Chain A
Amino acid sequence: MPEVLKAPLAVEFPFTRSLGPVQSAFLTGLRERVLLGVRTTDGRVLVPPVEYDPVTAEEIRDLVHVATTGTVTTWAWNHEPRRGQPLDTPFAWVLVRLDGADTALLHALDAPGPDAVHTGMRVRVRWAGERSGAITDIACFEPCDGEDTVITVHVGEFEEPVTGIVAPARLDYTYSPGRAQSAYIHALAERRTVGERCPSCRKVYVPPRGACPTCGVATTEQVEVGPRGTVTTFCIVNIKAKNLDIEVPYVYAHIALDGAGLALHGRIGGIPYDQVRMGLRVEPVWTQGARYPDHYRPTGEPDAEYDIYKELL
């Protein structure tokens, strides 16, 4: 069995999220070094605040100013900080109930070691030097004695409130396409196209994924198909994709390679876009060093009869 392929795959996306009135006030408050909670109808103060009561689901808007000092309600010592976490030196994860709040906020506590941390210990917010209206405006907590003055009223209105956040995320994977698709990609490197035949319905799948989706059984018998094929259907692309240096309009088509039980897709070149048609016979065009056909061009053969490819549309 040829080697199963592997490649690094990074998935990275900046989620842009809008904020409701309560989250906006809280995150704007962090920018201004003010900590706000929200009061539920039964009088509890939630920090961090939410827009709906977690018990009754009622909408809540009544903002409350709480202290920047609080008490650790539980903790966990993190001796190996991971990417993206608040501190890059060992720290404690803590849930902190700020003075004036009834619920706890999750964050990091900067402490010399686990022996310096305990449930019930007093801590204070350490603000980030540059603040933008995000939970990371709290750099971390630090141990402290005593408490801040609690200010009981704050309308939660600020100049230039933060109305959204951008939440970047990145996850790193090692992608493997598995046995069947590895074999397909290995063959492509030799400019051959291989599919797999279903032992039950005899259809040849290209590219193969190791299973017949119709019969739900494993496919294993490799079959070489093509290189020539037939255009079964197509569309004309009129809008240029970003970073794509293909002139529009161009044709994108479903191509049933000879011997294949279903069509794969590819671009049609070497013929004016308005002359591409169903039944057109095509062959792949490889460019130097490419790992898959750049496009397909007409072979010059007569068009295939509709009956030959009608099951492959």
Chain B
Amino acid sequence: MTRDIALVAFAQTDHRRSSDELSEVEMLMPVLHEVLEQTGLKTADIGFTCSGSSDYLAGRAFSFTLALDGVGAWPPISESHVEMDGAWALYEAWTKLLTGDADTALVYAYGKSSPGSVRDVLTRQLDPYYLAPLWPDSVALAALQAQALIDAGDTDERALAAVAARSRADASANSHAQLARPVPQGDYLVQPLRTGDCPPIGDGAAAVVLAAGERARDLCERPAWIRGIDHRIEAHGLGVRDLTDSPSTRLAAQKAGAFERPVDTAELHAPFTSQEIVLRGALRLDDTVRVNPSGGALAANPIMAAGLIRVGEAAAAIHRGDSDRALAHATSGPCLQQNLVAVLEGDPR
């Protein structure tokens, strides 16, 4: 059975450096209510619920179960969770809808980085034998990738600064962004990356609603039809990979149908300026494509939600009529280790 599935609503919090006056569920709930209001659905109408988050950000086991309070997780709810960015939860929900087991799905993701040191927290996702004992932090690993790109002649520090400036200038139109105006490139955090090349650390949440077939048309004036989604992974060992390229992104894009026709908009999950260079190459995006009109992860990077936000922003551009065919990308793991690509389209006008 083939069914057309669309993203029909998207909401996100204002992303902030700290939201410690709120628990995760208190931060999340307004966003859940907002997507339901957009569609007129109630929690009991939702066929499948899936979330993405990480216990390591909270420092507490099974922290995601508390967030479930916000969705009315009362039997017989059909519910699942991924310990990854919410974009992967969206992938699970999409497959669930494809099987015909549900007609609507609520997908949400959240991350509060403010309670801990996110650079240290992310070291715990690395290989525990060869990498984690050395505590290489997320900025250091991204900096190795940036230097590899500079050595290969694919970019230089000026080009990276231009990515940072463009992203934050574009974010001035995004009321949710944490950094919504150009910020100084600043000093090296880990050379060759400067503070300006790195994403802000912040707290935030996002939610989307998916619906199948005619149901999607009932719930949304211009649904963002998901034409394809795929996600691929590369070798765990950084020294095995060519850090200047992202074959997994290219393969995911190919499987999602991204290369069949040009896209007009791309929301790329590139927390570091250098990663946008890698992704533009892997996805063959030229200057005709609007890249990250939302400002992207350089303007707001709530960990575990930032990838889902890319899909949500791409869909919202279609809902508004700003885009007819958009590509959304999400990443997880160090140096673009895992990559998801979705292709979204609006009905012809």
Give chain A's interface residues, CB within 8 Å of chain B. 4, 6, 9, 11, 15, 17, 19, 23, 27, 46-48, 50, 54-55, 73-79, 82-86, 93, 95, 97, 103-108, 114, 119, 134-136, 165, 167, 169, 171-181, 209-218
Kindly list the 7 A-B residue pairs having the minimum CB-CB distance in the complex, ordered from nearest: A178-B23, A216-B72, A104-B239, A76-B143, A84-B135, A54-B235, A77-B191
Report how far A235 CA is from B168 CA in the complex, Å: 58
Q: Is B124 an interface residue (CB 8 A)?
A: yes
Q: How far is the CB of B199 from chain A (nearest CB, A)?
A: 17
12 additional contacts (CB under 8 A) given A77-B188, A136-B133: A73-B239, A76-B147, A105-B130, A107-B134, A165-B128, A167-B132, A173-B59, A177-B23, A178-B23, A181-B23, A214-B72, A214-B74
* A212 proximity list for chain B (CB < 8 A): 69, 72
Q: How far is the CB of B234 from chain A (nearest CB, A)?
A: 8
Find the B residue at minimum CB distance from A140.
Answer: B134
Q: Is B166 an interface residue (CB 8 A)?
A: no
Partner of A106, one of B33, B69, B134, B137: B134
* B135 proximity list for chain A (CB < 8 A): 82-85
Give chain B's interface residues, CB within 8 Å of chain A. 20-26, 29, 32-33, 43, 56, 58-60, 66, 68-74, 114-117, 119-121, 123-124, 128-137, 140-141, 143-148, 151, 188, 190-193, 235-240, 243
CB–CB B72/A215 < 8 A = yes
Q: How far is the CB of B49 from chain A (nearest CB, A)?
A: 10
CB–CB B128/A17 < 8 A = yes
* B236 proximity list for chain A (CB < 8 A): 50, 54
Report how far A107 CA is from B145 CA in the complex, Å: 15
CB–CB A178/B26 < 8 A = yes
Report how far A122 CA is from B319 CA in the complex, Å: 55
Q: How far is the CB of A86 from chain B (nearest CB, A)?
A: 6
Q: How far is the CB of A262 from chain B (nearest CB, A)?
A: 12
CB–CB B120/A171 < 8 A = yes
Q: How far is the CB of A81 from chain B (nearest CB, A)?
A: 9
Report how far A174 CA is from B74 CA in the complex, Å: 31
* A76 proximity list for chain B (CB < 8 A): 140, 143-144, 146-147, 190-193
Partner of A74, one of B119, B151, B193: B151
Partner of A135, one of B114, B129, B188, B193: B129
* A135 proximity list for chain B (CB < 8 A): 129-131, 133-134
Report how far A214 CA is from B72 CA in the complex, Å: 4
* A48 proximity list for chain B (CB < 8 A): 129-130, 237, 239
